[in-house]
Structure 1
Amino acid sequence: MPIAQRSSSGAGWSIARQLFVLQVLVVAALVAIGTAGTVLIVLDDAEQAAIDDVTDIAETVARSPTVVDAVRRPAPATILQPYAESVRTATGTDFVVVMAPDRTRYTHRTPSLIGKPFIGSIDGALAGGTVVETSVGTLGESVRTVVPVKDETGKVIALVSVGITTDAINQKLVGRTPAVAIPTALALLLAAAGSWLLSRRLRRQTHGLGPAEMTRMYEYHDAVLHSVREGLVVADREGRVTLVNDEGRRLLGDDLPEEVRDLIAARAAVADEPVLAGDRVLVANQRVIRSEGQTIGTVLTLRDHTELRELTGELDSVRGLTEALRAQAHEAANRLHTVLTLVELGRTGEAVDLATAELAVAQQLTDQVMGALDEPAVAALLLGKSAQAGERGVELIVDEASRIEGTRLPSRDLLTVVGNLVDNALEAVAGTEPPRRVTVLVLDTDGVVLVRVGDTGPGIPAGAFRRGWSTKAQGRGIGLSLVRQVADRHGGDIEVSGSTITVRLPAAS
């Protein structure tokens, strides 16, 4: 079955594109609403300003002595028409009309309309007030005001109407359009640019995925994370753990072991690094996550190698014993051949002395170990290590003060401590100048099991019990770390002096 690949031109838009379109629509709607509100406010302000202007002009004209005196004379139009036109021209209004109380015009910008009735409301002005209205007259729709002209007694003797057509007001608004349009266009342009930059950044961060693809990817990844048989720990760029899968929680527990925290804090790539987590031996692989040249976190995978390490250790022990037994068998065959040759030569006394001497040496070590250690597993371990040491040209000495009788310390833990310390000592003296010697003391006294292993090697450096330190050339051992783990579990302590390691393990009562 071919593997399906994601297409960037799939059924749906990416999140970045959807966000960009949504932002543009929202911003455009907001700008349109704001612009409409601004236009309405400006229009209302322009109309109110026109009303205020024509009212002020009308009241000024009505109080003018020229107007008051002229309306009392015969043929007032001859005086008022030039005056009214000069006021209209000077103020930029569309008409200035002076009329009699019966609506008869004395003035008008169209001379043919002089003497004809005024079109509009005047009742309020005849009563001594002010009329303000928007109505249609001879010049079209206009905003106008009508005020009374009074004599010294307060009697209304004439009316003055001043107006500005709606077209004139609109023309002024059109002239102000750039003041509104330019900021609106700039706002739209800036909003579109900001939305585009944000969508571009989001596209990089989401890799152009759409919502459905991201949902499926989350579901797939979540299922994978919880189904894999390896522990997984994800940390951010600050070293904070952001995700631990089910297997990781099982292996590490609720709190991260110190060695795992150190690995994460180092933020360096590692491959097949052994770490200890409680009673478990884990193999760690860590990868540094980078994006656009920046470190954004680490991914740590953990595999449980506890049983494998135990089996490997047992296999190494068996292999070592096999090699030692093979060497011993070869050596015994040589000695037996020598004894038989001496017998054939008639030198039976020398043959007997040689055979009994070899048996005495072997039996002496066996008797010493078995007699001192009432722990068959430890005794067998030391006898096997003695054979390995002999094969390597190293003398393994079990201190005569060694004594264990019925300790409650688990045999497995005791074997871990003794076996790893002896192995480390054998490795330490390998390749050194003779004499190559390893000394072992195992003593149970006052409820504390003391294990002391010394050698003639170069000594043990500081930090030997940290993860990964080893006397081996590749430097990837965990033997001493396992010793430290056992000591910590039993509340014991470890003392290092030169090439001698002393471990004290309180035994359960």
Structure 2
Amino acid sequence: MPVRFRKISTQIFLAQLVILAVSMAVGFVLFTQEARSNLDHEYQARAAAIAQTFAQIPTVRGCMGSSPVSTGCSATMQHLATSTADSTGASFVVVIGLDRVRYTHPDPALIGQKVSEPIVTKDGKVHLRVDPGATGVSANARVPLYAPGGAMAGEVSVGIRESSVSSELFAQLPTYAAWLAVALAIGAIGSWLLARRMKKRTFGLELDEIAHLLQEREATLHGIREGVIALDPDGRISVINDEARRLLGLSGVPLRRRLNEALPPGRIRDVLLDEGGVEDELVVTDDFRLVVSRMPVVLNGRPHGSVVTVRDRTEVEALAVELTGTRSLTESLRAQQHEFSNRMHAIAGLLELGRLPEALSYVHEIRGTSADLDETLRAHIAAPQLIGLLLGKAAEAGERGIDFVISPDTLVGEVPERVQALTTIVGNLVDNAFDAVAATPAPRRVELSIVESPDAVVVRVADSGPGVDDDAAPHLFEAGFTTKAADLAGHSGIGLALVHAAATQAGGSVAVTTGPGAVFTVVLPRPAARFTTEES
């Protein structure tokens, strides 16, 4: 059964060791071939030097210059050739005439015999080769031989056996092998150190564990309903999940891009780029109500970037608005019940005193004042959510000494496709108007108008407060901006931003007149399909 190495350091070390060994083996073979080639050239050059020296011997030149070559000259040259071969280590020194006849040779039987090859030195050059001759394979050099008068008389061929070349190569190989072994050992030590370093950099985790962690991270990162962004120390996006891309509009932004380049200018960009860190900061965009946090990451006392989390509070805020309307209705009913008890006590007292005319007049007065608002709302507004919201606001206005008036031109149906946006817009605008007139002397007045037409729903809220400063007007709808006094600023800075976001998301617009007495006007376009259905 094959052995499997699970440790990443062992796998890296063995892989690099195999690569080094194979590389060294291939290099050793190539080096050996190159060394053999170099030795061949070296021995051919040595043979050429021997041949040139022999061709310069006066006796040889004189003998080859005579025609025909005498037997005595041939014997003399044979003796010189044998002596030269013995002293230089050459395997043969052969003198060949222009008639291709051998005059010297290690094998006496071949002296006087013709060679099969032509005289190649007629061009006056030295010729080198590996010659598989009669004496065996040898490094061969052939040089021209000239007579004393300068005429060409033949050539001298000298060979050195290849066995000598091989012997020298084999003598050098152990040294080369030792150097390669040292290089392999150094490479193995370096591979081992690298494997240990990588093991340390991966916190001791193995490959399977790293792969498992990556799979878990991806599943967790993209499975949660919260946007997560990891930034490196340079502010570049290193990790981002699908929810963060959806909430921040970063669907096409690649990794490694700077966050300040990916986000457009605005409140959300300012909050996310705060390197000091933010915690649960509420930010309103055109599409969402977001709770944003940015926490710096410090490891071993060194900054390693930061982590940004983004939570969608849009649905929660919508439910909170509906809950506010329900609570307002409940508070209104509570106040009416309390007031009803007081009025019943007054009527009972008048009847007990026998003051029937006064009791009857008081009953008529109560009937007119208490039913007036309910009848007005039901006559002009069909959406029960808005009725409940406004009843609660009316009760609050009574408690705060504010005259809350529903404009006679108010007329709105159930508008199911706009009721959530309307409750957000009306509730926040009325609250803002109440706060604006709270610090002013009586009479304090807030007037609400909601007019539905085939093209749009127009909401208008006017108050008798001091109005809006010209310097503050451009910033009214920014999240966190407020002009309220400190005792009213506990939850301020978000209401008008929610109004602007709800109107923008519905395709509408918000306008304000600075006053004195601010007037906010919101226009929400209506879907054309609704009117087509109603008209048909």
Taking structure 2 as the reference length, the TM-score comes to 0.63
1:58–1:252: structure 2 CA closer, same or farther, 3 Å change rule? closer
1:99–1:42: structure 2 CA closer, same or farther, 3 Å change rule? closer
1:329–1:234: structure 2 CA closer, same or farther, 3 Å change rule? same
> Matched residues in 1 for 2:94 and 2:380: separation?
141
Q: Deviations over 1:121-179 (max 9, x none)?
A: 96799638699658999xx99856688989789988x9875648856886589789989
* Root-mean-square deviation (Å): 5.8
> Is 1:441 the counterpart of 2:441 in the alignment?
no
Question: What is the letter of the counterpart of residue 46 of structure 1?
Answer: L
> Matched residues in 2 for 1:223 and 1:397: separation?
54
What aligned pairs does 1:387-406 form with structure 2 within 5 A after superposition? Answer: 387-391=395-399, 393-404=400-411, 406=413
- Which of 230, 233, 242 is 1:244 aligned to? 242
Deviates more, 1:145-154 or 1:479-488: 145-154
1:176–1:69: structure 2 CA closer, same or farther, 3 Å change rule? farther
CA contact (8 A) 1:233 1:243 kept: yes
Q: Deviations over 1:211-233 (max 9, x none)?
A: 3223333444444456x452445
> Is 1:61 the counterpart of 2:54 in the alignment?
yes
1:375–1:59: structure 2 CA closer, same or farther, 3 Å change rule? closer
> Matched residues in 2 for 1:445 and 1:74: separation?
134
> Matched residues in 1 for 2:324 and 2:167: separation?
101
CA contact (8 A) 2:51 2:156 kept: no
Following superposition, the deviation at residue 61 of structure 1 comes to: 0.6
Following superposition, the deviation at residue 234 of structure 1 comes to: 4.7
CA contact (8 A) 2:286 2:504 kept: no
- Which of 4, 10, 13 is 2:7 aligned to? 13
Following superposition, the deviation at residue 273 of structure 1 comes to: 4.9
Following superposition, the deviation at residue 41 of structure 1 comes to: 1.0
Q: In the alignment, what sits opposite 2:126? A: none
Q: In the alignment, what sits opposite 2:206? A: 210
Following superposition, the deviation at residue 434 of structure 1 comes to: 3.6
> Matched residues in 2 for 1:427 and 1:451: separation?
18
What aligned pairs does 1:298-337 form with structure 2 within 5 A after superposition? Answer: 298=307, 300=309, 302=311, 306=315, 308-327=316-335, 329-330=337-338
1:384 aligned counterpart, secondary structure: helix
> Matched residues in 2 for 1:405 and 1:211: separation?
66
Question: What is the letter of the counterpart of residue 211 of structure 2?
Answer: T
1:404 aligned counterpart, secondary structure: coil
1:218–1:400: structure 2 CA closer, same or farther, 3 Å change rule? closer
1:82–1:13: structure 2 CA closer, same or farther, 3 Å change rule? closer
What aligned pairs does 1:68-467 form with structure 2 within 5 A after superposition? Answer: 68-69=61-62, 72=72, 84=84, 93-94=88-89, 118=106, 127=115, 163=160, 193=190, 203=199, 206-225=202-221, 228=223, 230-234=225-229, 238-239=236-237, 243-244=241-242, 262=269, 266=273, 271-274=279-282, 293=302, 298=307, 300=309, 302=311, 306=315, 308-327=316-335, 329-330=337-338, 361-373=369-381, 377-391=385-399, 393-404=400-411, 406=413, 410-428=418-436, 432-435=439-442, 437-444=445-452, 447-455=455-463, 456=465, 459=468, 462-466=474-478
> Matched residues in 1 for 2:509 and 2:144: separation?
114
Following superposition, the deviation at residue 421 of structure 1 comes to: 1.8
Q: In the alignment, what sits opposite 2:36? A: 43
> Matched residues in 2 for 1:123 and 1:320: separation?
133
> Matched residues in 1 for 2:500 and 2:109: separation?
108
2:18 aligned counterpart, secondary structure: helix
CA contact (8 A) 2:500 2:510 kept: yes
Q: In the alignment, what sits opposite 1:507? A: 526
1:251–1:65: structure 2 CA closer, same or farther, 3 Å change rule? closer
Deviates more, 1:414-423 or 1:479-488: 479-488
Question: What is the letter of the counterpart of residue 495 of structure 1?
Answer: A
> Matched residues in 2 for 1:238 and 1:178: separation?
54
Following superposition, the deviation at residue 395 of structure 1 comes to: 0.6
Question: What is the letter of the counterpart of residue 35 of structure 2?
Answer: V
CA contact (8 A) 1:27 1:188 kept: no
> Matched residues in 2 for 1:135 and 1:261: separation?
91
> Matched residues in 2 for 1:120 and 1:304: separation?
112
CA contact (8 A) 1:493 1:504 kept: yes
Q: In the alignment, what sits opposite 1:112? A: none
CA contact (8 A) 2:403 2:446 kept: yes
CA contact (8 A) 2:247 2:288 kept: no
1:180–1:394: structure 2 CA closer, same or farther, 3 Å change rule? farther
Q: In the alignment, what sits opposite 2:256? A: none
Unmatched 5+ stretches in structure 1: 1-9, 106-116
1:65–1:387: structure 2 CA closer, same or farther, 3 Å change rule? same
1:35–1:339: structure 2 CA closer, same or farther, 3 Å change rule? same
1:48 aligned counterpart, secondary structure: helix
> Matched residues in 2 for 1:72 and 1:378: separation?
141
Question: What is the letter of the counterpart of residue 230 of structure 1?
Answer: R
Q: Deviations over 1:167-204 (max 9, x none)?
A: 688658978998998799679858975x6787577556
1:209 aligned counterpart, secondary structure: coil
> Matched residues in 2 for 1:442 and 1:219: separation?
54
1:45 aligned counterpart, secondary structure: helix
Identity over the aligned pairs, expressed in percent?
27
> Matched residues in 1 for 2:239 and 2:57: separation?
89
CA contact (8 A) 2:143 2:157 kept: yes
1:176–1:458: structure 2 CA closer, same or farther, 3 Å change rule? farther
Q: Deviations over 1:361-404 (max 9, x none)?
A: 5445445545554655534432320101222x241422544320
1:155–1:334: structure 2 CA closer, same or farther, 3 Å change rule? closer
CA contact (8 A) 1:401 1:443 kept: no
Following superposition, the deviation at residue 50 of structure 1 comes to: 0.8
CA contact (8 A) 1:234 1:242 kept: yes
> Matched residues in 2 for 1:202 and 1:329: separation?
76
Q: Deviations over 1:6-28 (max 9, x none)?
A: xxxx97122x6534542343244
Q: In the alignment, what sits opposite 2:513? A: 497
CA contact (8 A) 2:412 2:451 kept: no
1:122–1:395: structure 2 CA closer, same or farther, 3 Å change rule? farther
Following superposition, the deviation at residue 492 of structure 1 comes to: 2.0
> Matched residues in 2 for 1:502 and 1:426: separation?
16
2:409 aligned counterpart, secondary structure: coil
1:295–1:437: structure 2 CA closer, same or farther, 3 Å change rule? farther
Q: How many residues align?
A: 474
Unmatched 5+ stretches in structure 2: 64-70, 121-128, 254-262, 532-536
> Matched residues in 1 for 2:359 and 2:7: separation?
96
